[in-house]
Amino acid sequence: MHADYFKHFLDNTVNLSKFKLELLDERVNTIYGVLKGDDNLGPLIKKKIPQGSWPQKTIISPQNGKAFDADFMLQMVEDPDWAFDLRRYSDAIYNVLHNTSPYKDMPHGRKCRCVYITYANSMHVDIVPFVVRADGTQWIINRDKNVWERTDTDGFTNWMRTKDAIAGRNLRKVIRIMKFLRDHKNSFTGTKSILLTTLLGEQVEDWRKTVDAGYYADLPTALLHIVSDLDTWLQARSTKPVVMDPSGSGTSFDHRWTQETYAYFRDRIHVHAAEIQAAYYETDPDESVKKWQGLFGDGFAAPTSSASSGKYSTVGTGAGTAGAATVNLSGRAG
Residues 233 and 289 in one domain: yes
Of 256, 167, 172, the residue nearest 214 (C-alpha): 167
Residue 70 lies in a domain: yes
Residue 287 pLDDT > 80: yes
pLDDT for 298: 92
Residues 9 and 44 in one domain: no
Residue 329 pLDDT > 70: no
Choice between 124 and 318, residue whose per-residue pLDDT is larger: 124
* DSSP code of residue 257: -
Residues 166 and 142 in one domain: no
**C-alpha–C-alpha distance, residues 125 and 120, integer Å:** 12
pLDDT for 327: 34
pLDDT for 333: 39
Q: What is the mean pLDDT of residues 287-292?
A: 96
Residues 136 and 239 in one domain: no
* DSSP code of residue 12: I
Residues 147 and 193 in one domain: no
List pLDDT tens digits, range 194-210: 999 999 999 999 999 99
Residue 192 lies in a domain: yes
Domain that holds residue 29: 18-153
* Structural domain total, the chain: 2
- Point out the least confidently predicted range of 37-46, 179-188, 231-240: 179-188
Residues 37 and 116 in one domain: yes
Question: What percent of the chain is modeled with pLDDT above 90?
Answer: 74
Residues 149 and 160 in one domain: no
Global pTM value: 0.85
Residue 113 lies in a domain: yes
Residues 180 and 285 in one domain: yes
Are 294 and 275 spatial neighbours (Cβ–Cβ below 8 Å)?
A: yes
Residue 324 lies in a domain: no
Residues 54 and 126 in one domain: yes
Q: How confident is the model at residue 87 (pLDDT cuts 50, 70, 90)?
A: very high
List pLDDT tens digits, range 127-152: 999 999 999 999 999 999 999 999 98
Residue 258 lies in a domain: yes
Residue 328 lies in a domain: no
pLDDT for 305: 60
Of 192, 185, 166, the residue nearest 53 (C-alpha): 192
- Helix then strand count (H, E) for the chain reads 11, 7
Q: What is the mean pLDDT of residues 82-94?
A: 96
- Point out the least confidently predicted range of 10-19, 51-60, 274-283: 51-60
pLDDT for 177: 97
Residue 331 pLDDT > 50: no
Residues 249 and 164 in one domain: yes
Radius of gyration of the chain (CA): 21
List pLDDT tens digits, range 103-119: 999 999 999 999 999 99
List pLDDT tens digits, range 157-198: 899 999 999 999 999 999 999 999 999 888 998 999 999 999
Residue 310 lies in a domain: no
Residue 319 pLDDT > 70: no
Q: What is the CATH number of the domain that holds 124?
A: 3.30.460.90
Residue 38 pLDDT > 60: yes
Phi, psi of 166 (to 5 degrees): -60, -40
pLDDT for 152: 86
Q: How confident is the model at residue 55 (pLDDT cuts 50, 70, 90)?
A: confident
pLDDT for 53: 87
Residue 318 lies in a domain: no
Secondary structure (3-state) at 155:
helix
**C-alpha–C-alpha distance, residues 153 and 158, integer Å:** 9
Of 96, 132, 129, 103, the residue nearest 114 (C-alpha): 129
Secondary structure (3-state) at 91:
helix
